[in-house]
Amino acid sequence: MADAFGTALVDWVKGSTIPETIQRDDGYVEEGAGPDAYLAQPAAWPAAERTALRHVRGRVADLGCGAGRVALDLQRRGFDVVGFDASALAVRAAGCFGVLDARCAAASTFHREIDDFDSIIMFGNNFGMFGTPERATRLLSRWAKRAAPGTRIFAESTSAYGGGAPITDRGYYRRNKELGLAPGHTRLRIRYQAVTGPWINWLFVSRGELQRIARGTGWTVARIVGDGSAEPYVAVLERS
């Protein structure tokens, strides 16, 4: 299946500046963040990401690493870090960008790897990769069975209600409610140049919604980093 976002990442690390396009399932289309976001240096990251990294410890997994901006920064700081992405092209882009250890793996299979790590990074709104609240609860529970006590997940999201979540708006989350879906549920696909990717489910959650999803999974929300309802925040989940 065509991998539009992975194709874009490979082009971006080679110097392209053409952004991706995001299409929502109701026909709405907007320009994506492009290389300015996905290859950004730490000074340009959301404040919550920079602050949350102060709590990272031990061996680190960067899950949904993309081109590896976070893994590369941690690598430079001396951390033992592995980038994981479901896209083989993203893994290739991360290697070109300078990440020393990047591997192909999805959230659905990460339970096989989690016991090798002390910190799991899910920046770039990557809590959304769970797709639905039910799948998030199921996978977090699966991860907890293999994770060592004290393991930390750094899960980033943006509330759908504050106006800051990408590719979502009030009309769309009201439609979701009418359909019985989570308000921040988003069905989208990426287009880049002549390549169109598959439809995927992405999930934006408020702080309260994330706490409810994590309840009973074996993970405790130790702290939430980030201010402002429209800004990304990072929830630090710790294996109890």
208 in a structural domain: yes
Cβ(212)–Cβ(183) below 8 Å: no
- In this structure, the number of other CB atoms found within 10 A of the CB of residue 153 comes to 27
Q: Rounded CA gap, 5 and 89, in Å?
A: 8
CATH number of domain containing 140? 3.40.50.150
- Residue 131 belongs to what domain range? 42-186+198-239
37 in a structural domain: no
Task: List CB contacts of 134: < 8 A, sequence separation 6 or more.
Answer: none
81 in a structural domain: yes
Total structural domains in the chain? 1
19 in a structural domain: no
Q: What is the pLDDT of residue 228?
A: 87
Backbone φ and ψ of 5, nearest 5°: -70, -40
Q: What is the pLDDT of residue 53?
A: 97
6 in a structural domain: no
Q: What is the pLDDT of residue 157?
A: 98
Q: Rounded CA gap, 2 and 14, in Å?
A: 20
Q: What is the pLDDT of residue 240?
A: 86
HSE, CB side, 13 Å, CA atoms: give it for residue 79. Answer: 26
Give the predicted TM-score (pTM) of the model.
0.97
Q: And the tokens for 177?
A: 């409610």
DSSP conformation class of 18: P
**Distance from chain centroid for Cα 6:** 15
Pairing verdict, β 81-85 and 102-104: parallel
Beta strand segments in the chain, E: 21-24, 29-31, 60-63, 81-85, 102-104, 119-122, 152-157, 185-192, 195-196, 200-203, 219-225, 233-239
**CA-wise closest residue to 218 among 202, 239, 197, 201:** 239
Report pLDDT digits (tens) over 114-155: 999 999 999 999 999 999 999 999 999 999 999 999 999 999
* List of the chain residues with pLDDT < 70: none
**CA-wise closest residue to 148 among 102, 117, 105:** 117
130 in a structural domain: yes
Q: What is the pLDDT of residue 180?
A: 96
Pairing verdict, β 185-192 and 21-24: antiparallel
**CA-wise closest residue to 21 among 204, 232, 194:** 194
Report pLDDT digits (tens) over 21-41: 999 999 999 999 999 999 999
**CA-wise closest residue to 128 among 138, 139, 136, 116:** 136
| Count of positions (residues) in the chain | 240
